[in-house]
Amino acid sequence: MKPPTDAALARQHSGEPPPVAGRPGTRTNRPGNANVAEVNRQIAELVDRSTHELRLAWRQLHRTGPPQGLSRDLLIRALANQLQEWIHGRASGALRRRLQTLAGEFERGGASFDPGVVLKTGTTLVRQWRGHAHTVLVREDGFEYEGERYRSLTVIAERITGAHWSGPRFFGLTKRPGTSAGAEAGR
């Protein structure tokens, strides 16, 4: 979303939602004079917009409609996040990957995951499985295994074993009581 202009105010009075900027987080479309207070005001105003206007704003941002079943509350939160990314920048790939891993472990009740383990881009993980060494390269936007990109270690572990595995556990990144992270990797 852009800071309001006279044209934007005219659209607002016509019932059309305010314009939405290009994809947030890229350095090329970040405004040089963006005002944090203005973005905070726009976020607060999202609650007052109709669901139809929120869906149009989503469509302008993502060039597709919002996912089916996405509640109004989540739609507002997602658009607010986009505004925040637009002004403050996007989280690094490593941070997004770490948060995604933590969220996945939390959902599965995996309290054994050691959140202190941070995989740096370029790190290589090796796991022996049924007589074969499997190598995974940590990338900025996920993981690479056998020339293909994946967003999670769990998907790779499932591909290797043919069964559901926790990716961090399979690659020895979990911490069991009385052991250190990585101690299981030699098993």
Note the pLDDT tens digit of each residue in 168-183. 889 988 766 555 444 4
Q: Is 0.75 surpassed by the pTM of this model? A: no
Report yes or no: 20 and 56 within 8 Å, Cβ to Cβ: no
Say what the pLDDT of residue 115 is: 56
The Cα 93–Cα 176 span in angstroms is 27
Say what the pLDDT of residue 127 is: 92
> Within a 10 A sphere around the Cβ of 138, how many other Cβ atoms?
18
What are the respective helix, strand and coil percentages of the chain, to the nearest 5? 45, 10, 45
Q: Of 79, 123, 66, which is closest to residue 97 (Cα–Cα)? A: 123
Say what the pLDDT of residue 86 is: 82
> Within a 10 A sphere around the Cβ of 13, how many other Cβ atoms?
8
**Six-digit token string for 31:** 């405004």
How far is residue 6 CA from its own chain's centroid?
34
Report yes or no: 99 and 152 within 8 Å, Cβ to Cβ: no
